[in-house]
Amino acid sequence: MSTEAKAQDKGLRGTEAQAITRLLLGLWDLGGAEREVTKTELITDRVKLNKERVKDYQDILEKLQEKGAITIEVKKRKPYISLTETGLQMLAAGLNSSDFKFDGEELKPRDKDINAVLRWLRESGTVGNGTSLSVNTANNLKAAIASYEEFKQVVLDVYDKLNQEHNFNNLVPIYRIRKEISDRLTRSEFNEWLLEMQANDIFQLMAGEMSDITPDKREDSITIPGGGLRYYAKLLDY
């Protein structure tokens, strides 16, 4: 096999959303809700699959830290990772998602992952650091949006819902869309992916006037590079 082919054969197994759930599950299984876990202990020894690299998880760690799901503290040049309440909720949502599974060549079942899931189920009434989390609560939690394709579908659904419920006449305020899903992704992800939807001729992002504009609504709208603020999203035919 050529060097180029070997390089292409490396990378995350499965989807990023699956990797996020596996990482949070591994951190919880290592006691990360009660103690600090080293990055090596979590990624190298617990989570990383065959043909994956430690650096494949760097972006995921940064996203989880930005969402408040984990904390990372560097001590003597060694990163220590802990699981937060938000992380426990994201883990519950991830495990309840129909998209999460261990199967196929990408994600072959591992005993330690299966046993961790079984332990989670046995302890589903009280998880990690003693935080009460009922089955109903876990089922109602929404998983983090992990990709542009997932974002696109979610935003289109939100757009239709808001447009129908509030008679926006196909000009839906961007701040309303952001508010609906702000707990499922970062501000930068929302901005990047919404601009990508415009680049792909799905939305036209428009300025217009907003009579009840406030600083918060302005901040939760979006700025077009070199083009100023845009307050509304209009769905195009595509």
Domain ranges of the chain: 3-140, 148-235
- Asked if residue 3 has pLDDT above 50, the reply is no
pLDDT for 106 equals 66
Residues 139 and 92: their CA atoms lie apart, in Å, by 8
- Say what percent of the chain tops pLDDT 70: 85
- Asked if residue 230 has pLDDT above 90, the reply is yes
- pLDDT bucket at 222, cuts 50 / 70 / 90: very high
What is the SS3 string spanning the chain? CCHHHHHHCCCCCCCHHHHHHHHHHHHHHCCCCCCCEEHHHHHHHHHCCCCCCHHHHHHHHHHHHHHCCEEEEEECCEEEEEECHHHHHHHHHHHHCCCCCCCCCCCCCCHHHHHHHHHHHHCCCEECCCEECCHHHHHHCCCCCCCHHHHHHHHHHHHHHHHHHHCCCCCEEHHHHHHHHHHHCCHHHHHHHHHHHHHCCCEEEECCCCCCCCHHHHHCCEEECCCEEECEEEECCC
Contact residues for 190 (Cβ-Cβ < 8 A; gap 6+): 151, 178, 181, 182
Greater confidence (108 vs 15) lies with 15
- Say what percent of the chain tops pLDDT 90: 46
pLDDT for 143 equals 61
- Asked if residue 128 has pLDDT above 70, the reply is no
pLDDT digits (tens, 9 = 90+) for 30-64: 999 999 999 999 999 899 988 889 999 999 999 99
- pLDDT bucket at 104, cuts 50 / 70 / 90: low
pLDDT digits (tens, 9 = 90+) for 56-69: 999 999 999 999 99
- pLDDT bucket at 227, cuts 50 / 70 / 90: confident
- Asked if residue 184 has pLDDT above 50, the reply is yes
Tokens 């309840």 label which residue?
Answer: 96
Look up the CATH architecture of domain 3-140. Answer: Orthogonal Bundle (1.10)
pLDDT digits (tens, 9 = 90+) for 163-180: 999 999 999 999 999 988
Greater confidence (236 vs 211) lies with 236
- pLDDT bucket at 238, cuts 50 / 70 / 90: very low
- pLDDT bucket at 199, cuts 50 / 70 / 90: very high
Q: Kindly state the average pLDDT of the residues 148-155.
A: 92
